[in-house]
Structure 1
Amino acid sequence: MTKTTEFKTPTGASFFMNHKPLARTLDTTNFIDNEFVASSAVDWIDLHDPATNNLVTRVPQSTDEELHAAVESAKRAFPTWRATSIMAKQRIMFTFGNLIRANWDRLAASITLEQGKTFKDAKGDVLRGLQVAETACGITTQLTGEVLEVAKDMETKSIREPLGVVAAICPFNFPAMIPLWCIPIATVTGNCLILKPSERDPGAAMILAELAREAGFPKGVLNIIHGAAPTVDFILDDPAIQAISFVGSNRAGEYIYTRGSANGKRVQANLGAKNHALLLPDADKDSALNAIVGAAFGAAGQRCMALSVLVMVGETKSWLPELIERAKGLVVSGGFEKDADVGPIISPQSKARIESIIASAEQEGASILLDGRGFKPEKYPNGNFVGPTVISNVTTEMKCYKEEIFGPVLVCLSVDTLDEGIRLTNANDYGNGTAIFTRSGSAALYFQKNIEAGQVGINVPIPVPLPMFSFTGNKKSIAGGGANTFYGKPGLAFYTQQKTVTSLWRSDSIDTGKQVVMPSHL
């Protein structure tokens, strides 16, 4: 029997979703000044359920008037919000986190419907964002400044202040987590945020807006606008917007970084990846193979920290048949099916691109050991499915190795030694994450010290740090040689600017006479 799930739209209307066409399609609204505002857009983007390709909603290309209204709302709100006490902001954030937890299933259902990932994986998407919101509740100890008496009767103190109006441009693959990388940190530090969710799956962001309003966010502190390139260009060019956070592809991210920086904005941009895992002969075989399969094919490979390259060291190349058997055991189906392990790809276009890269590997001489092309679950014949795919005999010159595939495809290379595996990994342009599977502490430490990726897992396949740390990709996985600072202490630094105040309050009443040189009151 097909699973049926009920959840509420941001406007409060309930509807049942069971992967069948909705009786009435609800257009996605803007969220401006704490109101869900119907768009006057001329251009609309159809959003389809990836499991069925049934129409779910229409997303507006927000009009110029709507884009400017969002900025004006944020500008009006900023003076009062920045003056709001940190304790008051903290109380709002506590409530916001509690509301996210209470609406966990609802957010996950929206993600599964619009993005396609399995319901249990969608719940993980929400959780990783919720952790950022909950960590932001510690702002009273995270944002303290510094003070030092630098001379007699003179002290210098350093304080952090908000930037003003900031913006976030979010990707399709984590519809809750990435907005929640930005909303809590940007707002609790005193900024007003304009959020552009992906036009492919904005539903979770719209629910978050509703919860933010219910939590007590004042008008204008969070605004949500929609669209594709015109909306992005507006964010890059509007002079009121001081900083931009972006997660997405290299092509888009490099453009955003270049144009935004040229306009004098702070830009943090997390881009593509080609994450390698080294499998050593002394690894716990069962644990390692299970971890690799989950990291390569979970979320249908649509995550920037997916494990997409397996570097088999020495005899571990003989473990491939066992890895393939585990991959074959994964259930590929609609995300609301209870036994689903891998959901659909976001769009028919993405599916076609993934399958073309698999085909290119075959043409270039690689071996397709497990082929997921043309996969059609019985209950979802019209969905955008690609089954788990394993490609061996890959070289570093092949397209399947050089390009980020962003699908459930694992490419496999063989090397003789750990050093050779490290050199191969370091030669790759990307540096988001990497992992090693071994029982040897010395090998793990050697790998940790010599590998160049920013996020390293030791027997951990997807080593994304929890929010008390920060996302730390490097090389071409970030734009402009900058830093990924989406949460943790670097996140607070990104959304604030430093001010130093030097004060002199004399303890005596002696007339010091003229002071025409640099202060030297020692």
Structure 2
Amino acid sequence: MAGGPPQNATHDETQDETTRKHVTHWINGKPSDARAERQGEIFDPATGRVAGTVGFAAPADVDAAVAAAKAAFPGWRDASLSKRTQILFRFRELLTAHRGELAKIISSEHGKVESDAAGEIARGLEVVEFACGIPHLLKGGFSENVSSRVDAYSILQPLGVVAGITPFNFPAMVPMWMFPVAIACGNTFVLKPSEKDPSASVRIAELWAEAGLPDGVFNVLHGDKVAVDGLLEHPDVKAVSFVGSTPVARYIYETAARGGKRVQALGGAKNHMVVLPDADLDLAADAAVSAGFGSAGERCMAISVVVAVDPVGDELMAKIGERVAGLRIGPGDDERSEMGPLVTRQHRDKVASYLDSGVEQGATLAIDGRETPVLGERGDGFWLGPSVLDHVTPEMDCYRDEIFGPVLSVVRVASYDAAMDVIADNPYGNGTAIFTNDGGAARRFQNEVEVGMVGINVPIPVPMAYYSFGGWKASLFGDSHAHGMEGVHFYTRTKAVTARWLDPSHGGVNLGFPTNG
């Protein structure tokens, strides 16, 4: 499973280049007809074959996308709330109707099984549904007679052109954390999705157009750092939303904020799951396996560290091993598959390297995913099965780094306080969970832990769309989380108005304005 041609191979003898798909930008309501000078390859992770190419944006493409969004902004800003919500409702119905098609697109380029892909679309749809309620969410405040015949009120107004830069692991859901709320608030949007799995974003753009969204309100720009920097530095882009690794999140935040833009940059994670001695260990083992290995561990909310409080370590490890042994690994389009391949060969190899380094640094390799059989294995896919490193300590690379793959680290501690110290000393603060039947311990945990999203007997505590998603510490740069009311506030700015209308019948001065309406 570890051999094969290099990831950056430009020729695949098993497939005629003329049959490969080519993905291009979506600008001003249609696919871009400009031929990109630079391109990237799109792989089928299950086979390792090149499935297509994607055009990379040049500075001129960035300018064109932003210009289209800027030109569309005045008309969309002034569109009535009723008009916006009608389009949002139509878009929701189209997404629902095409959910299966989108899941297949995502699975073919990302590698996750189609049920996982359908699940991410469902979570994205929740944000669309939340955005359908925008007339209520945009209501301002009003105070009558703050002074004699003087009223004061506030209104929420859109920013203008806003951009989203999103990762490969959720090519539909993460963009849908951003653009439904931004567009509902009256902004226009430029999306820069991952170049590894770009097709879903273009299909979503087509559905927006079918729903009646005016040209230029939603644009898709593919590429690499050239496209990212172009958006970060463009004077007409007013705000940037980002999800990805912490080093890049810091760069996004510093670069965009230096240019006076609003930024919400969600960074990396090292999510801990604490298992107390009184926990239901069957429930905890189920949770550790599903949250650690779902979508091949390529989730920002994946559980990557299980903190087992003595004396449950051995029993919990046995139960995790039993469940891992029953997992079926295979291509995303095989209904039997419960976990697919990783997204690229380089990423698979990097993730697998932590198994060796973990052992070298003193951990025990309890389950080696490199030996996992694959259902109906085809070609030279990017496979790595569920892996577990036991007796991990915080100074090991497998603990310190965000692996972003199907490697679960088990840290054993003597007490609840020791478990809290482990979490507190970690630089990330994205998500965490505790498994216990003690309500007092759970309440203490949620109060004390310095993490933005907390699960109690829930392993992946992703908030519903009407709450907001985001971490603490090195997992967030900026002060706004995604979707929910924080998303509405991020994509709007408040204007305070103080008004006096002079009324001659009350002794005011008549300035010549009509008094009958």
Query: Which TM bucket (shorter chain)?
Result: over 0.9
Does structure 1 retain, via aligned residues, the 8 Å contact 2:190–2:221?
A: yes
Residues 233-382 of structure 1: matches in 2 within 5 Å? 233-319=229-315, 320-373=317-370, 375=372, 377=374, 378-382=376-380
Q: Deviations over 1:422-463 (max 9, x none)?
A: 121111110000001111111111111111111000000000
Does structure 2 retain, via aligned residues, the 8 Å contact 1:40–1:63?
A: no
After TM superposition, the structure 1 stretch with the greater mean CA deviation from structure 2, 30-39 or 371-380, is 371-380
**Displacement of 1:375:** 4.7
Q: Deviations over 1:318-370 (max 9, x none)?
A: 22122112112111111111111111111011011111122111110110000
SS at 1:322 equivalent: helix
Q: 2:93 is matched with which residue: 89, 95, 98?
A: 98
SS at 2:169 equivalent: coil
Query: Alpha carbons of 1:194 and 1:263: their partners in 2 closer, same or farther (altered >3 Å)?
Result: same
Mind listing any 5+ residue stretches in structure 1 that lack a counterpart? Answer: 1-18, 514-522
Q: Deviations over 1:216-242 (max 9, x none)?
A: 100110011110010001001110000
Partner residue, 2:167: 171
Does structure 1 retain, via aligned residues, the 8 Å contact 2:480–2:490?
A: no
Q: 1:463 is matched with which residue: 456, 461, 464?
A: 461
Q: Deviations over 1:97-149 (max 9, x none)?
A: 01000000011000000000000000001111111001110111111000012
Q: Distance in 2 between matches of 1:485 and 1:279?
A: 28
Partner residue, 1:72: 67
Does structure 2 retain, via aligned residues, the 8 Å contact 1:376–1:385?
A: no
SS at 2:53 equivalent: strand
Q: Distance in 1 between matches of 2:329 and 2:18?
A: 27
Aligned residues: 493
Partner residue, 2:11: none
Partner residue, 1:423: 421
SS at 1:79 equivalent: helix
Q: Distance in 2 between matches of 1:62 and 1:391?
A: 41
Q: Distance in 1 between matches of 2:74 and 2:371?
A: 55
After TM superposition, the structure 1 stretch with the greater mean CA deviation from structure 2, 32-41 or 193-202, is 32-41
Taking only aligned residues, the RMSD between alpha carbons, in angstroms, comes to 1.6
Q: Distance in 1 between matches of 2:209 and 2:438?
A: 51
Q: Distance in 2 between matches of 1:228 and 1:20?
A: 26
TM-score (norm 2): 0.93
Does structure 2 retain, via aligned residues, the 8 Å contact 1:21–1:55?
A: no
Q: Distance in 1 between matches of 2:51 and 2:248?
A: 26
After TM superposition, the structure 1 stretch with the greater mean CA deviation from structure 2, 350-359 or 504-513, is 504-513
Does structure 2 retain, via aligned residues, the 8 Å contact 1:367–1:392?
A: yes
Q: Deviations over 1:464-517 (max 9, x none)?
A: 0010000031110112xx23421000000000011011001234553689xxxx
Residues 115-134 of structure 1: matches in 2 within 5 Å? 115-134=110-129
Does structure 2 retain, via aligned residues, the 8 Å contact 1:328–1:388?
A: no
Q: Distance in 2 between matches of 1:25 and 1:94?
A: 34
Q: 1:205 is matched with which residue: 194, 201, 212?
A: 201
SS at 1:109 equivalent: helix
Partner residue, 1:81: 76
Partner residue, 1:493: 489
1:219 aligns with 2:201: no
Query: Alpha carbons of 1:245 and 1:351: their partners in 2 closer, same or farther (altered >3 Å)?
Result: same
1:30 aligns with 2:13: no
Partner residue, 2:7: none
| Matched letter for residue 28 of structure 1 | V
**Displacement of 1:202:** 0.9
Q: Distance in 2 between matches of 1:121 and 1:100?
A: 16
Partner residue, 2:192: 196
Partner residue, 2:43: 48
Q: Distance in 1 between matches of 2:479 and 2:377?
A: 44
Q: Distance in 2 between matches of 1:20 and 1:400?
A: 38
Does structure 2 retain, via aligned residues, the 8 Å contact 1:31–1:225?
A: yes
**Displacement of 1:75:** 1.0
Q: Deviations over 1:225-261 (max 9, x none)?
A: 1100100010011100000000011121111111111
Query: Alpha carbons of 1:484 and 1:499: their partners in 2 closer, same or farther (altered >3 Å)?
Result: closer
Q: Distance in 2 between matches of 1:509 and 1:278?
A: 68
| Matched letter for residue 37 of structure 1 | S
**Displacement of 1:198:** 0.6
Q: Distance in 1 between matches of 2:92 and 2:103?
A: 15
SS at 1:379 equivalent: coil
| Matched letter for residue 299 of structure 1 | S
Q: 1:411 is matched with which residue: 389, 409, 412?
A: 409
1:476 aligns with 2:474: yes
1:383 aligns with 2:381: yes
Does structure 1 retain, via aligned residues, the 8 Å contact 2:107–2:333?
A: yes
**Displacement of 1:376:** 5.7
| Matched letter for residue 77 of structure 1 | A
Query: Alpha carbons of 1:419 and 1:243: their partners in 2 closer, same or farther (altered >3 Å)?
Result: same
Does structure 1 retain, via aligned residues, the 8 Å contact 2:502–2:508?
A: no
Partner residue, 1:60: 55
| Matched letter for residue 467 of structure 2 | F
